[in-house]
Amino acid sequence: MKVKSLEIADVLLIEPTVYGDDRGFFFESFNQAQFSALVGQDLTFVQDNHSKSARGVLRGLHYQIKQPQGKLVRVVDGEVFDVAVDLRKASPTFGKWVGETLSADNKRQLWIPAGFAHGFLVLSESAQFLYKTTDFYSPENERAIIWNDPTLNIRWPIDTMPILSRKDAVAQAFPDAEVFAGSLDS
């Protein structure tokens, strides 16, 4: 397994060791002991999510207040551009973003700790996206920042309008008082 720290130090790009043979391939997509050693704490994942989206779909930028979720994300079919935005008020990289291409081919995973907004854009014909979360889905605590916020200035690899959910199309700006009113730390 190879691990790379990104420009936001706590976001990790994980490249599992893949064992290929005549039958196909094998790799450990999650190993609790290795993961705990990697992040330096024992985190418990409580939910696994799986979504499928068509080319040009952009989901995000999502986060939860009061019940922030750490997310370990990967792609099992297709390719996406995955983005994490640092919303931790005390962080030196507050308001900064990192983006990585994750695909079924490169098998890369991104670890996005609690306190980040997360989103992804589908670059292939379709993509299936799998992720583990450290807290449960909490619709009342869910928030969204608009994907093309000018302050964040995320360089999405797209030159047309992405396909958005109704909720994401009317998401809030960054910074917005509501974003920071709730604590991301508890």
Q: Which residues bind ligand TDO (CB under 6 A)?
A: 49, 51, 59-60, 62, 71, 118-120, 137, 165
Nearest CB to ligand TDO, comparing residues 62 and 108: 62
Could you count the other beta carbons within 10 Å of the beta carbon of residue 141? 16
Catalytic: 19? no
Residue of 50, 63, 118, 131 marked catalytic: 131
Report the nearest approach of ligand TDO to the CB of residue 179 (Å).
15
Tell which residue, 63, 65, 66, has the closest CA to residue 83: 63
- CA distances, 137 to each of 45, 99, 127 (Å): 12, 23, 22
Report the nearest approach of ligand TDO to the CB of residue 80 (Å).
10
Catalytic: 118? no
Nearest CB to ligand TDO, comparing residues 59 and 108: 59
Residue of 62, 63, 118, 137 marked catalytic: 62
Nearest CB to ligand TDO, comparing residues 15 and 142: 142
- CA distances, 70 to each of 42, 48, 156, 186 (Å): 12, 12, 22, 13
As a whole number of angstroms, the distance between CA 95 and CA 152 comes to 7
Report the nearest approach of ligand TDO to the CB of residue 31 (Å).
22
Q: What SS3 class is residue 45?
A: coil
CB contact at 8 A, 13 and 6: yes
Residues that are catalytic: 62, 131
